[in-house]
Amino acid sequence: MAENVLSYQQLFDFSTAVLQKIGCSAADADLAIKVLLSADLRGIDSHGVARLSGYVRLWEAKRVNANPGINIIHQTPSTAVVDGDSGLGLVVAPKAMQIAIDKAKNVGTGWVSVQNSNHFGIAGYHAMMALEHDMIGIALTNASPLVAPTFSVERLLGTNPICVAIPAGNESPFVADLATTTAANGKLEILQRKNGVAPLGWIQDKNGKPSTNPHELKGGGALLPLGGDREHGSHKGYALGAVVDIFSAILSGANYGPWVPPFPAYVPMPDEQPGKGIGHFFGAMRIDAFRPASDFKKHMDKWIQRFRSAKTTEGQKKVIIPGDPEREMEAERMKNGIPLLPVVLDDLKYLSEKFGIDF
């Protein structure tokens, strides 16, 4: 492997050791790193091991509790509100999703809103937990404000992703995992490193005017909701991001809108905290609560095959089924290793020295 390419196992062993050093149990560290590295495997590098030092800094700032007592604080047969006790979202989220799955086993569906959590990695990991149970999985989370609603100069929403994972039969599952913005923040970071030009419709400047400068966010600019501008439906992206915020945080009692705590530990907390931590929302629907799973999967296969074989626009090989690119990347990186940017390698070396863990 090239110098900057590490195997999954290397990254797993190192990263779990780091989390144990900050006080996580072995089981929690394994779970958290499984979630974290699923981002690297699936090619969503911005949400993977690149954030490991960020989580450590949140723990140093006493914003992460390494040994949370994760509790259900209210429930009905199909719902629960979970208090994450300031735990790593990487641990809180899969445990909350498991509660949704267990409820779905009993009454057909389960819906869990979570307060007092932290960043949970990629939504896809949690939603996909449902697949092996022949369930549809849903995962939403709010995040610190980077996005300006339509007509707003102010950043009031996070990139608030929606993930829906749906089992198929012979075909691979359908996994839609999308930020409710035109472009994910990770794509903007790539342009920032290159000093590139962002397409119009991705960002606005601090005065709310359209901009193509990828550095605009540091100067008070904002990401734009999916749609980009009013004429192209940005009010729809804004509405979807708002729904994610409300389901994740107002149903649970977490912070919402402009009051969601920032991920970087050095960024000051908002002046006000109307809730606790950040919020997530999970759903699980048992397929056979609607119809026999075998019938459903047969038709999912037909749906997928029809879409994938559609006549394409010029220069395109096929219509992509949501989840295809990430699954292909996962197979490739599990086999050939995960390439890391120099800045990420430096971060890991810093953690290696700090905690005395071989790297």
Q: For the CB of residue 50, give the shortest distance to a copy of itself in the complex, in Å.
A: 22
The residues, ordered by sequence, that sit 6+ positions from 25 with a Cβ below 8 Å of its Cβ are: 67
**At 76, which helix (H) or strand (E)?**
strand 71-76
* 216 touches 191 (CB < 8 A): no
Pairing of strands 79-83, 109-117: parallel
**In the chain, what is the straight-line distance between the N-terminal and C-terminal CA atoms, in Å?**
15
- CB of residue 172 to a copy of itself, shortest distance in Å: 14
Tokens, residue 96:
């909350």
Q: Are strands 5-6 and 338-339 parallel, antiparallel or unpaired?
A: antiparallel
Whichever of 118 and 252 has its CB closer to a copy of itself, that residue is 252
Instruction: Supply the minimum distance, in Å, between the C-beta of residue 175 and a copy of itself.
Output: 9
State the minimum distance, in angstroms, from the CB of residue 113 to a copy of itself.
Answer: 5
**Is residue 228 within 8 Å of 234, Cβ to Cβ?**
yes
Cα separation, 167 vs 117, whole angstroms: 28
Output the CA–CA distances (angstroms, integers) from residue 156 to 112, 214, 242, 344, in the order listed. Answer: 24, 19, 9, 29
Q: Taking the complex as a whole, how short is the minimal distance between the CB of residue 211 and a copy of itself, in angstroms? A: 12
309's tokens: 């074989």
Q: Mapping DSSP to helix (H, G, I), strand (E, B) and coil, where does residue 154 land?
A: coil
Q: Which is nearer to a copy of itself, 283 or 337 (CB)?
A: 283
In angstroms, how far is CA 348 from the centroid of its own chain? 21
In angstroms, what is the minimal distance from the CB of 63 to a copy of itself? 22
User: 65 vs 181, which CB is nearer to a copy of itself?
Assistant: 181
What are the C-alpha distances in Å from 228 to residues 118, 156, 232?
A: 28, 16, 6
Smaller CB separation from a copy of itself, 257 or 337: 257
Residue-wise DSSP of 166-233: E--SSSPPEEEEE-SBSS-HHHHHHHHHHT--PPTTSEE-TTS-EE--TTGGGGT-EE-BTTSSGGGT
Which of 43, 201 has the CB closer to a copy of itself? Answer: 201
Please, what is the minimum distance in Å from the beta carbon of residue 95 to a copy of itself? 18
Q: How far is the CB of 117 from a copy of itself (least distance, A)?
A: 15
- Closer residue to a copy of itself, CB minimum distance, 105 or 349: 105
Write down the least CB distance from residue 89 to a copy of itself, Å. Answer: 19
Please say which residue, 302 or 349, places its beta carbon nearer to a copy of itself.
Answer: 302
By beta-carbon proximity to a copy of itself, the closer residue of 29 and 96 is: 96
Answer whether 100's CB lies under 8 Å from 76's CB: no
| For a copy of itself, the closer CB: 186 or 258 | 258
